[in-house]
Structure 1
Amino acid sequence: MGRVSQAQAHENRKRVVETASRLFREQGTHVSVADLMKAAGLTHGGFYKQFASKEALVDEATAHAFGEVARLRQAGLERHSGQREAAQRELIDRYLSVEHRDNAADGCPVAGLAADMAREKNGHDEAHRVYAEGVRAFADSLATEDEDGVIRLCAMVGALVLARATKDSPLSDEILTAARAALTAKG
């Protein structure tokens, strides 16, 4: 088997990072390298040609996930012609939706990675830094003149986590509806 071109190696690395970002949000960072590479459609042996360690991939996948969040927030602002309140409302509505609850792989890294970030301190300094900065940026984007963005983010993430944990009961939809109503109500 011949060597892979630089362009193909770049595409393979990108595919691994994107796959890891989704799997880590959905299943946690304990996903094995073998399972990750299989999901990416690549061989296990190719992993160490691309990454120094699994921790390095966790770092990069975390940054990738938060980059997606930032792009979505920016797109929302652009859709609403820079009207922050309208963009925030849309974000809250999407965040506290059944679709987001049921699709953790493409969902919020704040909720999807929180437990792993709390448990795994060793070797993940960069991932923790990126995570903390991502949480801060997300919270800042939710701030209003009257409300702290941290409080709004905590309400959103807490509601999403609880809705996912109670997914097969009527309580799940109730949690999403109540949180969405509380966060989008006009004072």
Structure 2
Amino acid sequence: MGRVSQAQAEENRRRVVETASRLFRERGTHVSVADLMKAAGLTHGGFYKQFASKEALVDEATAHAFAPLTRLRADGAERYDGERDEAQRALIDTYLSAEHRDSAADGCPIAGLAADMARDPREGEAHRVYAEGVGDFAAWLETEDQDGMARLCTMLGALVLSRATKGSPLSDEILTAARTALAATD
């Protein structure tokens, strides 16, 4: 079997990072390299041609996972013509929806990676990116009357609890209660 071109190697790396970003949010960073590469449609042996270690991939996949959240905030600001309050309400409604609850792989990296960040003793690049992402999201959620971190904690807690109780009536009740509480503070 011949060597892959540089363009193909770059595409393979992009595919692994994207797959890792989704799997880590859905199942945690403990996903094995073999399972990750299989999900990406590549061989296990190809992993170490692309990454120095699994930790290096965790760092890169964590940064990749935050990009959609950043785009979502920017898209909201554009869609609502700079009306930050309206953009925030729309994002909160999307965040606290059954669709978001049911799609962890494509969902919020703050919720998806929280337990792994808490357990990882490295406190390296992934932790830095994660903490920066939490801070940026909280700052974006801030209003004249409400602390953004408190709003984020309400949203995050509701999402995690809703996912943990999925399949029971309590799951939807949790999302509704958080949306109602946050709307009351507007």
TM bin (shorter chain) = over 0.9
CA distance in 2, matches of 1:82, 1:66: 22
Aligned to 2:151: 152
CA distance in 1, matches of 2:68, 2:101: 17
The sequence identity of aligned pairs, in percent, is 78
Aligned to 2:96: 96
Question: Is there any run of 5+ residues in structure 2 with no aligned partner, and where?
Answer: none
Q: Does 1:165 align with 2:160?
A: no
What does 1:105-184 correspond to in 2, within 5 Å? 105-122=105-122, 124-184=123-183
- 2:149 match: secondary structure: helix
**CA deviation digits over 1:114-141, x for unaligned, max 9?**
000000122x510000000000001001
Distance 1:186 1:120, change over 3 A: closer
Give the partner amino acid of 1:148: D
Contact 1:101 1:164 (C-alpha < 8 Å) held by counterparts:
yes
Q: What is the root-mean-square deviation of aligned Cα atoms in Å?
A: 0.9
Give the partner amino acid of 2:83: Q
Q: Give the stretch that moved more between structures: 29-38 or 79-88.
A: 79-88
User: Post-superposition shift, 1:159?
Assistant: 0.2
Question: Is there any run of 5+ residues in structure 1 with no aligned partner, and where?
Answer: none
List structure 1 segments (4+ residues) > 6 angstroms apart after TM superposition. Answer: none
CA distance in 2, matches of 1:50, 1:180: 42
Number of equivalences: 186
**CA deviation digits over 1:63-82, x for unaligned, max 9?**
00111210111111111111
Give the TM-score normalised by structure 1: 0.97
CA distance in 1, matches of 2:51, 2:185: 48
Aligned to 1:46: 46
**CA deviation digits over 1:58-97, x for unaligned, max 9?**
0000000111210111111111111111110010000000
User: Post-superposition shift, 1:181?
Assistant: 1.1
